[in-house]
């Protein structure tokens, strides 16, 4: 595994931190933050469907906002807290999925991995390394995606 973090003005030489964050973030925390963002993407798949079915879950909205905020620079480097947030996010994702089904919605067969992955806690860091910023090979798509994510983090802040 290797770390890649490019989310703040402190990044090494403006190109991203690859060993340890200039801010003090460690590789394992960076991977957990990436997995938390990935988990939020999965929740959003069902949140869009829930909205279309007039399902309102303020607790999930609040969880998404707080989780986005927890990943901003220097907000939180507590590994245990990120593991807990990911576990909670996966649980909320499944609850929302069930709400959609109960309201007559359907779950598409071609769901993105973020909407249906399950990973043992012991493998969270490995999964996070696989779904982080550099997982998107096309640089233009990656740049646009990260710009949008950073904007959402700013709104959450």
User: Are 30 and 132 contacting, i.e. CB atoms less than 8 angstroms apart?
Assistant: yes
DSSP assignments along 57-112, one per residue: -HHHHHHHHHHHHHTSTTT---HHHHHHHHHHHHHHHHHHHHHHHHTT----TT--
Q: What percent of the chain has pLDDT over 90?
A: 62
Indicate the CATH number for domain 29-156: 1.20.1270.20
15: CB partners within 8 A, 6+ apart: 6
Q: What is the pLDDT of residues 55-83, one digit of tens each?
A: 999 999 999 999 999 988 676 789 999 99
Report phi then psi at 76, rounded to 5: -165, 125
**Is residue 141 very low, low, confident or very high in pLDDT (cuts 50, 70, 90)?**
very high
Would you say how long the chain is, in residues? Answer: 157
Whether the predicted pLDDT of 97 surpasses 70: yes
What contacts 24+ positions apart, CB below 8 Å, involve 93-96?
93/39, 93/42, 93/43, 93/46, 95/57, 96/43, 96/46, 96/47, 96/50, 96/55, 96/57, 96/60
The residue ranking higher by pLDDT, 152 or 11, is: 152
- Distance between CA atoms of residues 73 and 147, nearest Å: 15
- The pTM score is 0.88
Task: Please state the rounded mean pLDDT for residues 39-57.
Answer: 96
How confident is the model at residue 21, as a pLDDT?
64
Q: Look over the chain and give the mean of its residue pLDDT values, rounded to a whole number.
A: 89
In the DSSP assignment, the letter for residue 5 is B
Break the chain into its structural domains and give their ranges. 29-156
Rounded to 5 degrees, what angle do the CA atoms 9, 11, 153 make?
A: 55
């Amino acid at each position: 595994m290797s770390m890649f973090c490019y989310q703040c003005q402190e990044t090494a030489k403006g190109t991203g931190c690859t060993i340890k964050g200039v801010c003090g973030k460690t590789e394992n925390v960076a991977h957990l933050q990436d997995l938390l963002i990935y988990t939020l993407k999965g929740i959003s798949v069902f949140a869009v469907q829930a909205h279309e079915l007039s399902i309102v879950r303020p607790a999930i909205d609040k969880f998404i906002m707080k989780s986005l905020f927890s990943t901003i620079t220097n907000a939180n480097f507590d590994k245990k807290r990120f593991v807990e947030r990911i576990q909670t996010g996966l649980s909320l994702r499944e609850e929302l999925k069930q709400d959609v089904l109960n309201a007559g919605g359907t779950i598409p067969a071609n769901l993105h991995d973020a909407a249906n992955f399950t990973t043992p806690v012991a493998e969270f860091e490995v999964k996070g390394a696989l779904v982080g910023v550099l997982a998107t090979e096309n640089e233009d798509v990656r740049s646009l995606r990260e710009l949008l994510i950073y904007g959402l983090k700013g709104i959450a802040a």
